[in-house]
């Protein structure tokens, strides 16, 4: 009996390829190709082990690899891989939600916040940032010469992955 072809549809009947922009699909394809170490069109435990080794992580437990592979409904071809990412990303906040969170700190609606102020808020409120996390954020999104953080651009990068021109 021939193996069943992987379904191209996900829950709700929408095509998985319509969930992403073409550039995102290309990036996922590149990642899939890198991970498919034996080039058989599927990612399995051996491919995952080799990928971890290529990243410098040796001695990955078999159980850990099995748990990763079990997250998929069947053999992991590119469509299944893309579907799994779509399901993982489904819970991420839309750009508008993130913008609204920043607007709380910008009552005048300027589109930027004093870097020192946001640093203090992130380090003292709720789920506190460490000094290292603050350093990483400001390395990726340096404040302008006036010491302001352009949170609109930050939100765009968080949701789209690249800076606006």
Task: Give the mean pLDDT of 103-118.
Answer: 90
DSSP labels for the chain? -PPPPPPSB-GGG-BGGGGS-HHHHHHHHHHHHHH-TT-SS-B-HHHHHHHHHHTT-----HHHHHHHHHTSSSSB-HHHHHHHHHHHHTTSPPHHHHHHHHHTT-TT--SEEEHHHHHHHHHHSSSPPPHHHHHHHHHHS---TTSEEEHHHHHHHHHHSS---
What domains are defined for the chain?
A: 20-89 (1.10.238.10), 95-160 (1.10.238.10)
Q: Specify the pLDDT at position 87.
A: 73
Q: Specify the pLDDT at position 163.
A: 62
Does residue 48 carry a pLDDT above 90? yes
Does residue 126 carry a pLDDT above 90? no
């Amino acid at each position: 009996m021939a193996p069943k072809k992987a379904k191209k549809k996900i829950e709700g009947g929408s095509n998985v390829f319509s969930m992403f922009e073409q550039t995102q699909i290309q990036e996922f394809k590149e990642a899939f190709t890198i991970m498919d170490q034996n080039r058989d069109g599927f990612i399995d435990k051996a491919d995952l082990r080799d990928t971890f080794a290529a990243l410098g992580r040796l001695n990955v437990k078999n159980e850990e690899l099995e748990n990763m592979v079990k997250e998929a409904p069947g053999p992991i071809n590119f469509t299944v891989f893309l579907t799994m990412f779509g399901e993982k990303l489904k819970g991420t906040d839309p750009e508008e939600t993130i913008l609204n969170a920043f607007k709380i700190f910008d009552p005048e609606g300027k589109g930027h916040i004093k870097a020192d102020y946001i640093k203090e808020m992130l380090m003292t409120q709720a789920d506190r940032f460490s000094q290292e996390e603050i350093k990483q954020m400001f390395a990726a999104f340096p404040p302008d010469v006036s010491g302001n953080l352009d949170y609109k651009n930050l939100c765009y990068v968080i949701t789209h992955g690249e800076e606006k021109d």
